[in-house]
Structure 1
Amino acid sequence: MNHKPRIKDIAVKAGVSPTTVSRALSGSGLVAEPTLSQIRDIARLMGYYPNISARNLRTQKTMSVLIVVRDIGNPFYLNIFKGAENAARDAGYSILMANTEDDPKKEADYFDMVSHGHADGMILMTGKMPHQCQIPEDTAQKVLIALEMIDGADFTHVIIDNEAASHKVIEHLVGLGHKKIAHISGPVPEGMSIRRRAGFENAMAKFGLPIPQDYIQRGAFSYQSGEEACRKLLQLDDRPTAIYAANDEMAFGAIRAAKTMGLSIPRDLSIVGFDDIYLADGFVPALTTIHQPCMEIGRCAMNRLLAHLTGENPKIETITIPTEIIIRETTAPPV
C-alpha cells in the first residue's frame, strides 16, 4: 500500500463496513468480540493511526486517562502502568501520569481535571479521596479506584484481598515451624496498612499464636523505616524468629538491619515482604514475598474504566484480583 491506510482500507481487509471499523477503533463499546480484536489487529498491522485531533473535536473527548499515584518514583507501579497502557492503547486512549506526593491540593486538582473535561477519566491509586473537593455526580462513571479499597467511596474498585494475603504469609511461616512471628506494618490509619495488619492478627489467632507486646512495629513503607523497626524487634528480650513486613522495601530494610546485627538470613531470622517488586528476585538473599499481579491489575482497571466511559458497563462494583506467595531464600525453619 503506497498511501496512508484509511478506515475504508481496514474495512475491506476485515470484511466489515467502515462504520463498524470506526466504532471499533473509537472504543465505543458497540462492536463485540471477536470482530473488535480482528479490526484492531488489522489496523495495527496496516500501521493505521487515527486523527486524534479531529476525533476529539467530534466527540468532545480528550481520549486520555489519568493514572494518579502518591509517588511516581516507586518501582511498584511500573507493571501496573504497563498493563493499563496496553489496554488503553488498544482502545485508542493515552495515559497521563499524575503524582500527588500526598499533597491535598494536587489530589483535588486532578479530580478537577476530570470534572472540567481535561481528561476523560481517572484511575486513582493513592488510597484516599481528596478532602474539600466537590465531586460531581457523573464523576462516578469517570473514576476507578485501584489497589487500595477506599471505604465509603462509591466507585468501582479493582483491588487485592490484603487480609487473605497476610494469612498466606503466616500460614507459610507456621508451616515452617515458626511460633514467634512479628509484623512491621505500614503507616496507620491507611487502609492498606490496617488490612494487612488485621490479616496478620487474625491468622495468628487462628493458629493459636500470641502476639507479644512490641511484636507489631509501625513503619512507613520505606527502606529506612523497615530497618529501624527490625532493630527494635531484634533488641527485644524474646525476639521473634520471623518477621512479616507489609511491603518489600521495608523487608529489604529489615534484612539489612539483621545482617548488621550479625544475624544470618534465613538461618537466624526469616523475613517475608509484600508486593514482589522487580528487585525481590534479584536481592541477596532473594525475598519471599506476596506477589501482586500488577500487569493484570492495570489491564483490568483500564478495561473496566473504559467500559464505564463508553457506557458499555456502568455498574459500580468491586473486582478482587488473587495474589500468591512466592517462596524464595529468606524463609526457613527456625533453629
Structure 2
Amino acid sequence: MATMKQVAEQAGVSTTTVSHVINNTRVVSEDVRARVQAVIEQLRYVPSAVARSLKNDRTHTLGMMVPNNSNPYFAEVIRGIEDAAFKLGYNIILCNSYDDPGKQVAYIRVLMEKRIDGLILVSSGTDPELSRFLAGDRIPVVLVDREISGVAADFIESDHEQGGYMGAKYLLQLGHRAIACVAGPEKLLTSRERVAGYRRALDEAGVAFRPEWLLHSDFTSAGGHQAFRQLLALPRRPSAIFASNDLMAMGGICAASEAGVAIPAQLSVLGYDDIALAAYSNPPLTSIGQPKQEMGALTARILLERMLDPGLPLRRELLRPALVVRKSTAPFTG
C-alpha cells in the first residue's frame, strides 16, 4: 500500500504539501496540485482516515449498532439511515449485537477506537455497563426504537402502543372477537407497548382478554411458527392472530398451512413492520407499517445536528404507524 511519503517523493514535493492537497488546508498552485493528484491516482494512494481525523477531529464516519440486520425491518431502517448519511457526506460502520447486551458494549468500544463522529444505537436490552459507558457523554448518540435507562440522548421511535391498538381494532372491525396476540420478547418495552395497544382495543370493544391467547416469542419466523402451532392446538382456537412482527406472522402462516387452516377463510393474520417481503407472502400480509425510510432519514439528520451543536435540547420524535391492508385478513363469518 502506497504511503504519503512515496507520493511526495514521486511528485517532487514535501509530505506537508501532499497533506495540504488532500485536506485543502492551504492554497497550493494548480500545477503542483495536478501533479500530486496524478501521483495519488497512479499509486492508488488512500489517505488514512484516522490520521486525517487527528488533524481535523472528524472521520466523517458514523457507527450504527442493531440487534440483528438479518431481520428485514432493521435492514430497511439501516438503508434509510445510510442513504441519508451518504448524501450528507458520512459513511456508516455497522455492527450486529445479535441480541446480546454484553456484545453491544464490546462493539461500541471498537467503534470508539475507530474514532466515529457519532453513534446510532438500537439497543439489545438493558445492560448496566452500557448505561455507564454511554452516560459518560463521550460521543453524540441517537437512540432508535428502544430507550436505555440512565442515558440522556436524542430518541426516535414509532408509536408502538398506537400500532398495537390499530392492529387489534382493525381485526375487531372485521367482526373478530377471538383475537390472539403473538408478542415479541416480554423484556423489550416495544413488545410490551404493542401488547398494551392490543389490550386497549379489546377493552374498548368490551372483549374479554384471554391470557392463553397471548404468547411471547422472539422476533423470528421460527418463533412465530411455534407460537401459532400452540394457539391452533387450543380447544378453542382464535379466529384471528395479531403477530408483533412480519417474520413471526410469516412463520405463523406456514404453521397454519401445515395444520390445514386456510388463511384468511378460517384464520385472519396481521403482522407488524410492513417489511418489503410482506407484499409477497402467501397470501400477501396485512401489516402495521412503520415509517422506516422517514425514521432513517430523521435519525441521520438529528445525529448530524447534535454533532454540530452538542448544546441543542434533546429531541424525542414519535412517528405514527399506518395500517396496510392486504389479503391475509377477512371479515369474520362464524
TM-score category (smaller protein): 0.7 to 0.9
1 or 2, which has the higher helix percentage?
2
2:105 aligned residue (90, 105, 108)? 108
2:168 aligned residue (170, 189, 208)? 170
Q: Deviations over 1:77-107 (max 9, x none)?
A: 2221222112212222110011112334431
Aligned to 1:203: 201
Q: 1:150 to 1:105 in 2, by over 3 A?
A: closer
1:161 aligns with 2:174: no
Local SS of the residue matching 1:214: helix
Q: Distance in 2 between matches of 1:241 and 1:289?
A: 17
Aligned to 1:185: 183
* Structure 1 counterpart of 2:98, one-letter code: E
Q: 1:79 to 1:222 in 2, by over 3 A?
A: closer
- Farther-moved stretch of structure 1 (237-246 vs 100-109): 100-109
Which is higher, the Rg of structure 1 or of structure 2? Answer: 2
- The number of equivalent residue pairs is 287
Aligned to 1:238: 236
Whether the 8 Å CA contact 2:164–2:194 is kept in 1: the answer is yes
Q: 1:117 to 1:314 in 2, by over 3 A?
A: farther
Shift, 1:129, TM fit: 4.7
1:91 aligns with 2:85: no
Local SS of the residue matching 2:278: coil
Whether the 8 Å CA contact 1:113–1:119 is kept in 2: the answer is no
* Structure 1 counterpart of 2:147, one-letter code: M
2:249 aligned residue (243, 251, 257)? 251
Q: Deviations over 1:16-44 (max 9, x none)?
A: xxxxxx9xxxxxxxxxxxxxxxxxxxxxx
Whether the 8 Å CA contact 1:225–1:250 is kept in 2: the answer is yes
Across the aligned residues of Structure 1 and Structure 2, the Cα RMSD in angstroms comes to 2.2
Aligned to 1:144: 142
Aligned to 1:14: none
Shift, 1:122, TM fit: 0.8
Q: 1:52 to 1:312 in 2, by over 3 A?
A: farther
Aligned to 1:321: 319
Q: 1:60 to 1:145 in 2, by over 3 A?
A: same
Local SS of the residue matching 2:228: helix
1:71 aligns with 2:68: yes
Local SS of the residue matching 1:279: helix
Aligned to 1:5: none
- 1:122-141, aligned counterparts within 5 Å? 122-133=119-130, 134-135=132-133, 137=135, 139=137
1:80 aligned residue (77, 82, 98)? 77
* Structure 1 counterpart of 2:329, one-letter code: T
Which runs of no fewer than 5 residues in structure 2 stay unpaired? 1-23, 25-46
Shift, 1:61, TM fit: 1.6
Aligned to 2:308: 310
- Farther-moved stretch of structure 1 (78-87 vs 202-211): 78-87
- 1:46-57, aligned counterparts within 5 Å? 53=49, 56-57=53-54
TM-score when normalising by structure 2? 0.80
Whether the 8 Å CA contact 1:144–1:301 is kept in 2: the answer is yes
